[in-house]
Structure 1
């Protein structure tokens, strides 16, 4: 059922599975570590994000395979922080709150990310999901 979103709740970081989720054509995907899902409200929010076609990848997964934020040379360190938070399933408001910046600044960072990663604006596509997939794929570290 390739049109269904996929959310994996697991105990281990498995690069092959993460890579398959990223490469898959599922409309939404997530990979969460069950020992880090401690807050029910946050967990339910991540389920909603994935169900709506977004992404929710535990930051520990990104850190384990992508290294230090900002390693991706084409993004600024702040843009890398923003895309990392998008990857973990945060909304623009959540990103703004965590980084102590305005939503408008988050929007500006996302637009810069879309341009840098060559994500064209199309009404049928979720630019955030496409950007996350391209960013993770460009790292290449998931395909060791």
Structure 2
């Protein structure tokens, strides 16, 4: 896979290059800031772009704005955004943007090389992978959408795991349920959110609907660790 990296930290940038190349991928460019990013994407034609949220010169939102820009110019390009902390506003903006596969992970996840590389590969293959900490802080906040108030506590838990990219089989194992029971919960979630079969990938739409309507918070849930399983199951 051809990968472009935009990360200001020399140590992390070089570390990413090394671990990705050791995993058999090609790093076509490794940039310290967003200057030249658009040209680099055009000339190197990456299959995935990894960006830090905070980049020079102000170290505020350059990376996320660059990611949103790529969503407009290269809408199908898979993106993986890395952040030191959960940046809720930035996460919501990017998750709500229309486009290709998306990953939003905390930088701590890079320490588990096998898990991180698996997440990178899943994103490139079309999955959306959200860090459990991001999901916890976004999905457990008091919701302003009346549709969300219809969800039971168990349905909210299932929806949280869907947002993390968990498969039906994995959700069943984590919650000690049968896959049939998980499919029934998911079907109920789709119905309560008004997502018809023709809506496309309803798993992603359900998670986005929940995230896009969050308000002031009540604190994070304790979520299982990030999974490495593709989305499967009859309910889509």
Q: Same fold (TM over 0.5)?
A: yes
* C-alpha separation in 1, matches of 2:95 and 2:122: 16
TM-score by length of 2: 0.52
Asked whether 1:55 is paired with 2:128, we answer yes
Please report the RMSD computed on the Cα atoms of aligned residues, expressed in angstroms: 2.7
Consecutive unaligned residues of structure 2, counting only runs of 5 or more, are: 1-73, 218-236
Q: Give the structure 2 partner of residue 13 of structure 1.
A: 86
Partner of 2:70: none
Asked whether the 8 Å contact 2:88–2:137 carries over to 1, the reply is no
Instruction: Say how many residue pairs are matched.
Output: 141
Summarize the Cα distance change of 1:110–1:13 in structure 2 as closer, same or farther, 3 Å threshold: same
Cα offset for 1:141? 5.0
**Residue 69 of structure 1, CA deviation:** 9.6
In the other structure, the counterpart of 1:23 is 96
Q: Does 1:99 align with 2:172?
A: no
Instruction: Indicate if the aligned counterparts of 1:6 and 1:26 stay in contact, CA closer than 8 A.
Output: no
- Bigger helix fraction: 1
* Cα drift, residue 104 of structure 1: 1.4
Residues 103-135 of structure 1: CA deviation (Å, up to 9, x unaligned): 11111111111111111112x821111111111
With over 3 angstroms needed to count, the CA separation of the structure-2 counterparts of 1:57 and 1:105, relative to structure 1, is same
The alignment's TM-score, normalised by the length of structure 1, stands at 0.81
Q: Secondary structure at the match of 1:133?
A: helix
Larger Rg: 2
What is the CA-CA distance between 1:36 and the residue it aligns to? 3.8
1:105-120 to structure 2, matched below 5 A, reads: 105-120=181-196
Asked which structure has the greater RCO (Cα within 8 Å, sep 6+), the reply is 1
State the alpha-carbon separation in 2 of the partners of residues 35 and 11 from structure 1. 8
Q: Is the 8 A contact 2:102 2:123 kept in 1?
A: yes
Q: Within the alignment, does 1:127 sit opposite 2:202 as a pair?
A: yes
Unaligned runs of 5+ in 1: none
